[in-house]
Structure 1
Amino acid sequence: MGEAIIVFDGTCVVCNGWVRFLLKHDRRRRYCFAAMQNDAGRSLLAQHGLDPDDPSSFLLLDESGAHRDTDAIRRVITGLGGAWRAAHAMHLVPAPSRDAGYRTLARNRYRWFGRHEACVVPDARDADRFL
């Protein structure tokens, strides 16, 4: 199991693209994933004060605790190491502004990008990274 867990919307086209990106670039296999539609993902969201039936938040659980939305995204990207650490510069934009943009995308992502009927099944080589 990896060092950190990302809870994501398993039916969201954008969220699944994000997970595929991380599977490709996370060479240290640091991240594991839990779809918010399964019991593990729902439980993790509820444990951290998020509504499992409202897929508008992004949750990262790592060694320093629980992180949401753009703070979580920044931590995930910088956690890839190498040149990806430059994403830390996101902190220069005030969190309320970053999160407002994130929430706009989150509210409209199904309409703008579509959704899958069911959670996408991972490839056999990555199956051990999904809860």
Structure 2
Amino acid sequence: MAGAPPVCLFDGVCVLCSGGVQYTLRHERDHEIRFVAIQSREGRALAQLHGVDPDQPDSFLFIENDVVLRKSEAVLGVVAHLSWPARLVLAARILPRSLPDWLYDRIARNRYRLFGRKESCSLPDPEQRHRFSLPETP
């Protein structure tokens, strides 16, 4: 899948996760990331392929150049595509990964209680719909 656009596999019913996707859509520099809700057919398959339980996801995934990032590294992978000042978050790379992953785990474990849960995934705007599917493979 080298040369393919980056893919963000996210929890589509999580208010925090969906908000992060909307933020990314507004602030991404190159407008190339594809977003796939883990609740979708292709999202479930992608999650299972990379060892994530689609019914109880504990992390979103960011896949770029055949490299799969999880937890805080996935967050930083997305942030690397954003415009300034969001890119300041990349300074977290100087920390031992265990610290940002610890924070990520606490937020992920409590995300529905803290931020809410939707009954179903949101539908993207028509002009963004093409960003919510995996790229076609030849």
Mapped pair 1:100 → 2:121: no
- Please name the residue that 2:72 is paired with: 70
> 1:129 & 1:84 partners in 2: Cα distance?
21
- Please name the residue that 1:48 is paired with: 50
Deviation at 1:86, TM superposition (A): 3.4
- Please name the residue that 1:20 is paired with: 22
Unaligned regions of 5+ residues in structure 1, if any?
Answer: none
% identity of equivalent residues: 38
Unaligned regions of 5+ residues in structure 2, if any?
Answer: 134-138
Give the alignment's TM-score, normalised by structure 1: 0.91
> 1:81 & 1:111 partners in 2: Cα distance?
30
The DSSP-based 3-state class of the residue aligned with 1:33 is: strand
The letter of the residue matching 1:8 is F
- Please name the residue that 1:109 is paired with: 111
TM-align CA RMSD: 1.5
Quick one: structure 1 residues 6 and 85, their matched pair in 2 at CA, closer, same or farther if it must change by over 3 Å? same
Deviation sequence 1:56-93 (CA, Å, 0-9, x none)? 21100111511001011111101225554433211112
- Please name the residue that 2:34 is paired with: 32
The letter of the residue matching 2:119 is E
The DSSP-based 3-state class of the residue aligned with 2:110 is: helix
After superposing on structure 2, the runs of 4+ consecutive aligned residues of structure 1 that deviate more than 3 Å are 81-86
* Structure holding more helix per residue: 1
The letter of the residue matching 1:52 is P
Give the alignment's TM-score, normalised by structure 2: 0.87
The letter of the residue matching 1:3 is P
The letter of the residue matching 1:32 is R
Deviation sequence 1:10-37 (CA, Å, 0-9, x none)? 0000001000001101142121100000
What count of residue pairs does the alignment treat as equivalent? 130
Deviation sequence 1:77-114 (CA, Å, 0-9, x none)? 01225554433211112111111111111111111111
> 2:114 & 2:83 partners in 1: Cα distance?
31
- Please name the residue that 2:132 is paired with: 130
